[in-house]
Every structure is written in C-alpha cells, then in structure tokens.
Structure 1
Amino acid sequence: MARTALTPTAFVPNGAVADPTGTASGVGANNGITVPYQGGKSIMLRIVAGGAGTATVLAGSQPSAISSGQGNATVTFGGAGTQWAGPFESARFGQPDGSLAVDTSVAMTITAFTLDGRYVG
C-alpha cells in the first residue's frame, strides 16, 4: 500500500476554519501519509488513535534537509486519544520532493494544517 496524500487545511490569520474530518492512515513503513510541499508554511498534525501505538514523522535526507541528522520525531499513544504535533520544519523533515512523510504503527486518523510562519499579526 502506498502513502496517502493529505491536503492540509490552512489556518486563517485572525479568523477560523471548520474542523476537517481527517484521513485514515495505512499501517507500517511506507504506508502512512504524505503532506505535499507547502512552501514557507509550517505544518502541524492532529493525530487521533483508537489505541496504543506510534506515529513517526520521518527525517528527510540531505542536502535538502540539512538538520535530518536529528532523526525522526515520534508521537506515542498509550491508548486511545488525540495529540497535536509540530510544527515541523523542512530543514529536518523535508523529503527529497519537499513533502512530509508520516508512518504509523496502528491505524490512525491524521489531519494536516498549515500556518504561515511569516505572519506577525
């Protein structure tokens, strides 16, 4: 099974967005989700698990991900619940095509959000 591509929902400065449903992930290495390149925007994830498991945001590869040596970021669930993760920067997590890749150990529902990091209010 290939990764499922997620279209992120953009947070609106000084506004609001409807709560999107999320996308079910595949299970295991290379079967999770991918968030396409978002330019200069930060990516945040809402991860919902039905039970114990992990969601792993994969470190990118050099030269595009210069900080990839810091490794993956793992979100651990002791049981059912919701966790927010991020923001994730491309310098550590950007894949060769610029996307963000997430693998899960159990089926989870993941929603991606973007935040324009240049916005200062």
Structure 2
Amino acid sequence: MARTTVPYSALLPNADLADPAGTATNAGVGNGHTIAKAVPELTVLRVVAGATGGNVTIKAGANPPAIAAGQGDLVVAVANSATRWLGPFESGRFLQSDGTLLVDIATGFVAGTITAFRIPRNT
C-alpha cells in the first residue's frame, strides 16, 4: 500500500500557530507515512495515540546521503491515549535518497494522528 503524506505545519517566528489537527495514522505492514522535502534537523513530530497505542518507527535513511543509517531505525513506544513528541532528527541517519523522512506506525495503532512541525531556521 502507499504511504500517506504528512504535510509540514510551519512554526512561525515571533508569531503563533493554531493547533493543527494532524494526519490520521496509517498503520500496518507496508503502510506508514512520508514527509516530502524533509529537513530532519528542523523537524519535530507530534504523535497522538487513540484508544490503542503502539510503536512509531522513524526509518533509517539510505546511504548516501544518510552515512549513519547503520545505526538503524528509531522506535518509540506510544501508550494508549498518549501524546509523544519526537525529534529533531539527524539527516545523516534518517534522510532517504529521495529527500523524504519515513515514519511507520505499528499494526493496531487505532485512531491516532501524526503532525510534522518545521522549526523556523531564523527570525
């Protein structure tokens, strides 16, 4: 199955941002999410679990450009009805060769959301 695209919600310097709803989680083998034109060092993810939690996996990148991809995936357990903040990340470990960041959601992760925030580089 195809991955679901998660758009960036840009944090704004010297301003505010209404809380975005997020993208519904796409759980299961072969599914997951992609963040296009990712800048891992400026990316923070908010993952909200529904009634059932599970593991969220940030996939190791491709070498090149991710020369530290051998460190493997980052796996974070998200409890039932919990919110976890993940990142920022290292390009050298997580950036894919097509410039994306890949996030997998465990099978059984029900009714959750994922939001990608982009941190402004300067004001």
Identity %: 45
After superposition, the Cα gap between the structure-2 partners of 1:40 and 1:47, relative to the gap in structure 1 and judged at 3 Å, is closer
Deviation of residue 60 (structure 1)?
Answer: 0.3
**1:27 positional shift:** 1.2
What TM-score does the superposition give when structure 2 sets the normalisation length? 0.87
Instruction: Report the residue type matching 1:99 in the other structure.
Output: T
| Pair 1:40–1:60, CA change in 2 (3 A) | closer
Deviation at 1:13, TM superposition (A): 1.3
Which residue matches 1:27? 27
Larger relative strand fraction: 1
TM-score by length of 1: 0.88
Which position in structure 2 is the counterpart of 1:115?
119
Q: Determine the structure 2 residue equivalent to 1:80.
A: 81
Give the 3 Å change call, closer, same or farther, for CA 55–20 of structure 1 in structure 2: same
What value does the CA root-mean-square deviation take over the aligned residues? 1.7
Aligned pair in 2 of structure 1 residues 60, 22: CA closer, same or farther (>3 Å)?
Answer: same
| Alpha-carbon displacement from aligned partner over 1:90-111 (angstroms, at most 9, x marks no partner) | 2111112110110111233100
Flag the 1:73–1:15 CA change in 2: closer, same or farther, 3 A: same
Gaps of 5+ in 1: none
Structure 2 residue aligned with 1:17: 17
User: Unaligned 5+ residue runs, structure 2?
Assistant: none
Equivalence for 1:66: 67
1 CA distance for matches of 2:4 and 2:40? 22
